[in-house]
Structure 1
Amino acid sequence: MSRKSGIGSIELIFLGTASAQPSSTRNHSSLAVRLAGDVWLFDCGEATQHQLQKSTLRMGKIKKIFITHMHGDHIFGLAPLMTSLANGAGNTVDDVDDHRLRTQLDTDPLEIYGPLGTRAYVRACLTFSHSILTRKYVVHELRFHDDPSDGDNFLLPIHTSEMPGRNIPQVDGVWRNIFGDDTVAICAGPILHSIPCVGYVITEAPIPGKMDPKTYIPDIKRTRAPMSFMSRLQQGESVELPDGTVLHGPSRRPGRKIVILGDTYDPSPISEIAASPDVLVHEATNAHLPGVDSSTKPDDTFESVEARAKSRGHSTPQLAGAFATRIGARKLILNHFSARYPGNDERNADGSRIMKAIASLAKKRYDGEIVCARDLMTVEIKPRTTD
């Protein structure tokens, strides 16, 4: 997709919003970002492919998968999804002699990004399940400073369907431009959890500014310049007319920016590259809800719940709100809820009441728009109208 056409529509589709254990109303963690026609997946908990089948997403549109950390509730659905994406079969390499299968192995690979261990995990799952894929895949690992800079540090040989991936080092504490094209770029930064964990930042390239054709048409007609100049001006270019007059297109506007965090009790290390997003997706695993949540312990306080959440590597709504304020987020979406908090759809009055209470806690630390995620919820991110 060229920069001139832009991304167009950007949507977040929440496939799973639970922490640790799924419930009858919340699946394990997974979030899809639909960028025009393509789909990028962030985390892939157990049964993610079931959720995809319930959604409006087309599984075949998944081009990239980004893993935040190696806890099971974020990765146990990865290998099953890959085999479904690539018609995986339990077999051996020597048994695969179908010409179509071998031809498909030459198509663009499925790209996977994640911390150290992602490559070995995928390799082991596919190797020991004897899965042969009809599509190549590649795993790029985001290496922390104390990780080995080269090699996998694991003994399994490369899988038949695997292409060699990059080991991406931190530069100034973050991973800048791990992928980018004319329309969108993604970078990542470390966030604090109980194990190494990352957050991802998607940034759309600057988009054309608003243009009033009446500003340009008289000069174009007067000099009999081609009307194709209008499309160049719309892209913010400058054009010289036959009489030497130079017209300048409107300045480009900033593109949209999305910050998607993995599990964290403190995402401060990502603050710089995460500044001023249109949307921040932040976990809010635990909350103190006396009088609202019947499972609230009588001797708990806001302080004790926060201390317990942080000791386990997680956040409260107040911590999420404080970080949203710190980085200047335009919208905060709370995610990754304890299994005791039911989904908040129109059929579940109790869930809606609890989610409203959780949002009100975040509101104490953040004045912007707050949304509590629920499974299969879609959020459209509209282009910015101002800086």
Structure 2
Amino acid sequence: MELIFLGTGAGVPSKGRNVTSIALTMLNERNAIWLFDCGEATQHQVLHSQVKLSKIEKIFITHLHGDHIFGLPGLLSSRSFQGGESTLTVYGPKGIQNFIETSLKLSGTHLTYELKIEEIESELIFEDSFGKVTAMELDHGVQSFGYRIEEADKPGALDAERLIRDGVSPGPSFKILKEGGSLLLPDGRTINGNDYIGEPQKGRVLAIFGDTRSCKNENKLAYQADLIVHEATFEAEKGEMAAEYMHSTTAEAAELARDAEAKRLIITHISSRYDKEASLRLVEEAREIFQATDIANDFDVFEI
């Protein structure tokens, strides 16, 4: 499972950063990619990455500001041209359906796959055997959401070395025991698979935020997450400006990660006022509060 940052800028694209889009690749887990936001030129950014449009299964839109949605009609269209046939579901605030349907209708776009659009509220919006996704509303003037992605716990590993020591040969017997079954050995002993299975492996938890000021729902979404992705449009000393424009600072993102007992923070949605050198200062500022902080640049890949 990896995060690929296709765009890490705020508001408008700059020479160093395109506007927001993040791909969560789960090729081993479910042979699919989930996209979070789709700013202008996202499909161009995809061309410089390992992301395949045909593998995109779900798109989660945080809010309807242009730097988060203007790339969506083109990407949906191009997915058809690149052989996309599987169903794609778009989740987003009220109005996302009208935006998509109007764009496709006026441009005469025909999709070769089924497109589902779900306008969401703060609630559990998706769940299957892989895990679940919860959306909660943030504080950004327009309706803006954060998403908590919780992977289901995995069964513990089978202790193969111990089984071999106890006289069990690898093969079909291991499968029976892995499933918790019992096995009668040639010497008359009966062993139970549950005695050879380790503790369940806790599923990974991600929290991916849209644009927001600090609010209570942030803590619920971020609690004990393995990884938080949070906007840091402004440096800490510009707290008043951040609040006025309903955005967050480096310090606020870091304080959230610290207070939520998260393991790691990645800051993104960086204002174009910060060049490469200034961006390094932003991450150092956040690390003074929460050490396990990184800053995302376009095309950065983070393993989860």
Please indicate, yes or no, whether the TM-score normalized by the shorter chain is above 0.5. Answer: yes
Which residue does the alignment assign to 2:247? 314
Which residue does the alignment assign to 2:198? 250
Q: Per residue, is there more helix in 1 or in 2?
A: 2
1:133 equivalent in alignment to 2:111:
yes
1:374 equivalent in alignment to 2:278:
no
1:216 equivalent in alignment to 2:163:
yes
Q: Mean alpha-carbon deviation: is it higher for 241-250 or for 23-32?
A: 241-250
The letter for the 2-side match of 1:271 is N
Regions of 4+ moved over 6 Å: none
After the TM superposition, which residues 63-78 of structure 1 pair with which residues of structure 2 at under 5 Å, given as runs? 63-78=57-72
Distance 2:239 2:37 in 1: 25
Which residue does the alignment assign to 1:179? 126
User: For 1:183-236, what per-residue CA distance to the aligned partner results, in whole angstroms no more than 9, with x for missing partners?
Assistant: 232221111112111111112221243443222234453xx8x832424545xx
Match of 1:227 among 155, 171, 186: 171
Pick closer, same or farther for the CA change 1:65–1:232 going to 2, 3 Å.
farther
Which residue does the alignment assign to 2:140? 193
User: For 1:16-41, what per-residue CA distance to the aligned partner results, in whole angstroms no more than 9, with x for missing partners?
Assistant: 01111110110011000100231111
After the TM superposition, which residues 234-383 of structure 1 pair with which residues of structure 2 at under 5 Å, given as runs? 234=178, 237-242=179-184, 243-248=189-194, 249-287=197-235, 302=237, 305-342=238-275, 351=276, 353-367=277-291, 369-381=292-304
Distance 2:33 2:56 in 1: 5
1:23 equivalent in alignment to 2:14:
yes
Q: 3-state DSSP class of the match of 1:55?
A: coil
The letter for the 1-side match of 2:302 is V
Structure 1 stretches lacking a partner, 5+ long: 1-9, 89-103, 144-173, 289-301, 343-350, 382-387
Q: Is the 8 A contact 1:229 1:239 kept in 2?
A: no
Q: Is the 8 A contact 1:109 1:138 kept in 2?
A: yes
Distance 1:325 1:365 in 2: 7
Q: Is the 8 A contact 1:233 1:250 kept in 2?
A: no
User: For 1:288-313, what per-residue CA distance to the aligned partner results, in whole angstroms no more than 9, with x for missing partners?
Assistant: 5xxxxxxxxxxxxx2xx101101111
TM-score (norm 1): 0.72
Aligned residue pair count = 295
Distance 2:271 2:138 in 1: 20
TM-score (norm 2): 0.90
- How much identity, in percent, do the aligned residues show? 35
The letter for the 1-side match of 2:21 is S
Which residue does the alignment assign to 1:48? 42
Q: Is the 8 A contact 2:230 2:268 kept in 1?
A: yes
Pick closer, same or farther for the CA change 1:327–1:231 going to 2, 3 Å.
farther
The letter for the 2-side match of 1:374 is N
Shift of residue 129, structure 1, vs aligned partner: 1.5
